[in-house]
Amino acid sequence: MTATAAVTVDDVTMRFREHTALDGVSTTFARDSITGLLGRNGAGKTTLMQLVTGHRVPTTGSVHVFGASPYENDSVLQDVCFVREGQRYPDHFRVQDALSAAAMLFPNWDADLARSLLRDFDLPAKRTIKKLSRGMTSAVGIIIGLASRAPLTLFDEPYLGLDAVARQLFYDRLIADYAEQPRTVVLSTHLIEEIAPLLERVLLIDRGRVLLDDDAESLRHSAVTVSGPAEHVQAFARRHDLLHAESLGGHTRAVVRVTDGDARQAAADTGLTVEPTNLQQLIVAMSLQTPGERAPLQPAPPADLEEVS
């Protein structure tokens, strides 16, 4: 376990009867970092967060948060805030009741920040939560997550129902508060390209296994999209790592992880059209690969970004 790790997951497998949700997962979340936890629906993201936040015990392997097991460990869990999709509150709870309860749970609670966020999201403090819209309910969770100032804060699809303006408000307030009060933040979301500028690290899980675990800056420069005659694309891809390809007639378009800094110029010199590959395109291309196989150079349907992210 490294001194800088807020979370260490060591060879964790999680089974539910006949279903294996996580299979031999090992990773770390560094202290004071923002990590994007990405993958298809059902990939195992929520299960991993449940293990990290002490809601479950792994079938095999170990999970440590700040050096200790989180399960039934109040000294650890007081430093962990988990904002879940579809968070449930007691039927009689008003917005202000949820915030008051959170203030009692989290030692680092920032009441001034909570009040400021309440105004920013224009939430009615005295309204019963069950009468709020889906977006407003999501905003309650966001306020709790940010104002908790918990050393480890996890957001699982925290902004369902929020419009683009409200989501941008969340991103802006998150990054501003993170700059003022660094902490370990984990974001699980389908909106990859929206959160890409915030991320320092990316963890991609697919079919319960870690497919990618790398710093975001390296990933932003690691892939390229090339298009042109199929034989030229194929020759270029052989020298690197082909992730996904689509062909129509003799023309091929491919997403390729490159292995050297001169690859883009080399592709252009052979007459290929070279385009940057953003983080969402890279994640989708990797998720579409068959486990253990390189992507074939053959016709393929366009990627449905929302479905696989």
Whole-angstrom distance, CA of residue 37 vs CA of residue 50: 13
- Which helix (H) or strand (E) covers residue 216, if one does? helix 216-220
Mean pLDDT, to the nearest integer, of 154-160? 89
Coil/strand/helix, residue 120: helix
Contact (CB, 8 A) for 308 and 287: yes
Nearest to 291 by CA among 17, 8, 23, 16: 23
User: Which strands sit side by side in the sheet containing 184-188, from one edge to the other?
Assistant: 80-83, 152-156, 184-188, 34-38, 201-206, 209-215
Looking at the domain covering 223-308, what would its CATH class be? Answer: alpha beta
pLDDT in tens, 4-53: 799 999 999 999 988 999 999 999 999 999 999 999 888 999 999 999 99
Whole-angstrom distance, CA of residue 298 vs CA of residue 248: 9
User: Which strands sit side by side in the sheet containing 223-229, from one edge to the other?
Assistant: 241-248, 251-257, 223-229, 273-276
Full DSSP string of 266-285: HHHHTT-EEEE--HHHHHHH
At residue 109, the pLDDT reads: 97
Token pair of 146 as six digits: 């940010």
CA distances from 20 to 16, 25, 218, 231 (A): 6, 12, 31, 40
pTM over 0.75, yes/no = yes
- Give the residue extent of every domain in the chain: 5-218, 223-308
CA distances from 19 to 13, 44, 171, 207, 243 (A): 11, 11, 35, 11, 27
Whole-angstrom distance, CA of residue 143 vs CA of residue 114: 6
> Does residue 293 surpass a pLDDT of 60?
no
- Which helix (H) or strand (E) covers residue 178, if one does? helix 164-180
Whole-angstrom distance, CA of residue 168 vs CA of residue 87: 21
- Residue 161 carries which side chain, given as an amino acid letter? G
Whole-angstrom distance, CA of residue 204 vs CA of residue 303: 17
Coil/strand/helix, residue 62: strand
> Does residue 302 surpass a pLDDT of 70?
no
| pLDDT-based confidence at residue 220 (cuts at 50, 70, 90) | confident
Mean pLDDT, to the nearest integer, of 107-117? 97
pLDDT in tens, 236-291: 988 898 988 898 888 999 999 887 778 888 889 889 999 888 888 888 888 876 55
Which CATH code, of 3.40.50.300, 4.10.520.10, 3.10.129.10, 1.10.800.10, is assigned to 5-218?
Answer: 3.40.50.300
C-beta neighbour count of 35 within 10 angstroms: 26
| pLDDT-based confidence at residue 297 (cuts at 50, 70, 90) | very low
C-beta neighbour count of 233 within 10 angstroms: 25
Contact (CB, 8 A) for 151 and 184: yes
At residue 289, the pLDDT reads: 67
